[in-house]
């Protein structure tokens, strides 16, 4: 079945550091891929998405590129801020899975001033 | 409103009581999900409704948990004979098929 694997957290960085959160997936079809973010005390919200191979999703300085050859969708940001401290979830949705969204376990990011 | 609405926002109840949680999805969204999130943990999938298809109940942790959805509207999640390990935030999300999910603010359930 479909699955999503994220790097374990927590990830702790200093402000202005470069961020990468790895995400790989398993799917039998051609899934859509998503990153969601959950800020402290808040609900989940969509951060970015990509619907086909080589697409790059971007939002708020974050980027992720849909890499079909490596089945990956790594999240990157060039210079993190304290306000980026949150939990980040990678997810996929695929026709062969009945379009059911599958979430990764989440990666907690702490950014220090 | 335009978003996913959940009620109540907080629920405190005694062990052994039944609780019913409600989710009002965004109008027109065919997909509806329930998740459980324990403190500091990730999302635990509970159940998935997609249009008129049979729901995917594979995530329900025991037969004390059940959920219903009428058409493409309101859904209720019922937990019978609550236990302390049921304490968590219960999140509802809705979406169009293969589109990003929109999450509600959740119901924080506390079992005394």
Sequential DSSP letters for A79-102 = S--GGG-EEEEEEEE-GGGTT-EE
pLDDT at B110 over 80: yes
Say if the Cβ atoms of B100 and A49 lie within 8 Å.
Answer: yes
Say if the Cβ atoms of A100 and B56 lie within 8 Å.
Answer: yes
Mean pLDDT of B46-54: 91
- Which residues in chain A have Cβ-Cβ distances shorter than 8 Å to B93? 44
- Which residues in chain A have Cβ-Cβ distances shorter than 8 Å to B91? 43-44
pLDDT tier at B3, thresholds 50, 70, 90? very high
Mean pLDDT of B22-51: 93
Q: Is residue A89 classed exposed, middle or buried when 0-12, 13-18 and 19+ CB atoms within 10 A define those classes?
A: buried
Asked which of A93-107, B26-40, B44-58, B64-78 is least confident by mean pLDDT, the reply is A93-107
Phi, psi of B85 (to 5 degrees): -70, -5
Check residue B98 and give its pLDDT: 81
Mean pLDDT of B52-60: 92
Torsion of CA A8, A14, A18, A24, to 10 degrees: 10
Check residue B13 and give its pLDDT: 96
Least CB–CB distance from A100: residue in B43, B48, B104: B48
Say if the Cβ atoms of B53 and A105 lie within 8 Å.
Answer: no
Residue whose entry in the numeric block shows the structure tokens 């550091």? A17
Phi, psi of B46 (to 5 degrees): -110, -60
pLDDT tens digits, residue range A41-77?
A: 888 999 999 999 999 999 999 999 999 999 999 999 9
Residue whose entry in the numeric block shows the structure tokens 């209720």? B76
Residue (of A47, A67, A45) closest to A56 by Cα position: A67
Token pair for residue B108? 């924080």
Q: Does A34 touch chain B (CB under 8 A)?
A: yes
Segment (H or E) for A6? strand A3-6
Say if the Cβ atoms of B50 and A99 lie within 8 Å.
Answer: yes
pLDDT tier at B1, thresholds 50, 70, 90? low
Q: How many Å lie between the alpha carbon of A58 and the closest alpha carbon of chain B? A: 14
Say if the Cβ atoms of A44 and B48 lie within 8 Å.
Answer: no
Q: How many Å lie between the alpha carbon of B31 and the closest alpha carbon of chain A? A: 8
Cα angle at B108 between B112 and B2, to 5 degrees? 155
pLDDT at A38 over 90: yes
Peptide bond into B8 cis (omega under 30): yes
pLDDT at A25 over 90: yes
Say if the Cβ atoms of B42 and A106 lie within 8 Å.
Answer: yes
């Amino acid at each position: 079945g479909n699955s999503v694997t994220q790097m374990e957290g927590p990830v702790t960085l200093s402000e202005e550091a470069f961020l990468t959160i790895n995400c790989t997936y398993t799917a039998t079809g051609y899934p859509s891929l998503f990153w969601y973010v959950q800020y402290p005390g808040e609900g989940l919200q969509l951060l970015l998405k990509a619907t086909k191979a080589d697409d790059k999703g971007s939002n708020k300085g974050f980027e992720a590129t849909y890499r079909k050859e490596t089945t990956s969708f790594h999240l990157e940001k060039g210079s993190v801020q304290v306000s980026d401290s949150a939990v980040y979830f990678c997810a996929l949705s695929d026709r062969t899975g009945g379009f059911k969204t599958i979430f990764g376990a989440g990666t907690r990011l702490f950014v220090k001033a | 409103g335009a978003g996913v609405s959940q009620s109540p926002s907080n629920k405190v109840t005694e062990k052994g009581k039944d609780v019913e949680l409600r989710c009002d999805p965004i109008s027109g969204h065919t997909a509806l999900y329930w998740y459980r999130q324990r403190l500091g943990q990730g999302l635990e999938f509970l159940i998935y409704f997609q249009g008129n298809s049979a729901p995917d109940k594979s995530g329900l942790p025991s037969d004390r948990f059940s959920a219903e959805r009428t058409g493409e509207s309101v859904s209720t999640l019922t937990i019978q004979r609550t236990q302390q390990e049921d304490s968590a935030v219960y999140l509802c999300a809705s979406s169009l098929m293969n589109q990003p999910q929109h999450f509600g603010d959740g119901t924080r359930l506390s079992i005394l």
